[in-house]
Amino acid sequence: MSTTTNLSKPTQPMEERLYQNRYLVDEGRPHVRINQGTNASEALLSLVQLCPAGCYREAEPGRVEVALDGCMECGTCRIVCQGTGEIEWRYPRGGFGVSFKFG
C-alpha cells in the first residue's frame, strides 16, 4: 500500500462540496443513529475519514457525533460498523433525504 502523505487534506470544505446537492431533511427523524459506549470503537472513529459526506466528527476524544444534513445514503458507515453495533441505520422516510439531480 502506498504512503498516505498528502492524502488526508481535501482541497475544499465539505459544505462547499455539498452546496449544490439537493436534500429534503426529515427534521427530528434522523435515519442514522449512533449508539456508542464510553469510548468509540476504532471502526466508528474511522468514519470521520471514511464517510464521503463528512457526516461524522470526533466531538471530543473518543466521542463521535453524526450530522446527517449531507448524507448521501451510501451505506458505508453501516458496513464499516457492522461488528460493533454502534450504528443504527435505515433509509429516510420515503421522499426525504438526498435527491440526486444527475445521479
Nearer to another protein, 5 or 38 (CB): 5
Binding to another protein, residues 53-82 (CB under 8 A): 53-54, 72-76, 78-80, 82
Nearer to another protein, 61 or 100 (CB): 100
Nearer to another protein, 31 or 63 (CB): 31
Nearer to another protein, 62 or 76 (CB): 76
Contact present, 58 and 48 (Cβ < 8 Å): yes
Query: What are the CB-based long-range contacts (under 8 Å, 24+) for 80-85?
Result: 80/43, 80/46, 80/47, 80/50, 81/41, 81/43, 81/44, 81/47, 83/43, 84/41, 84/43, 84/44, 85/35
- Using CA atoms, how far residue 85 sits from 11, 42, 72, 96, in Å, is 33, 13, 21, 25
Which of 25, 46, 58, 66 contacts another protein by CB under 8 A?
46
Residues that bind another protein (CB under 8 A): 1-2, 4, 7-12, 14, 17-18, 20-21, 24, 46, 49-50, 52-54, 72-76, 78-80, 82, 90-95, 97-103
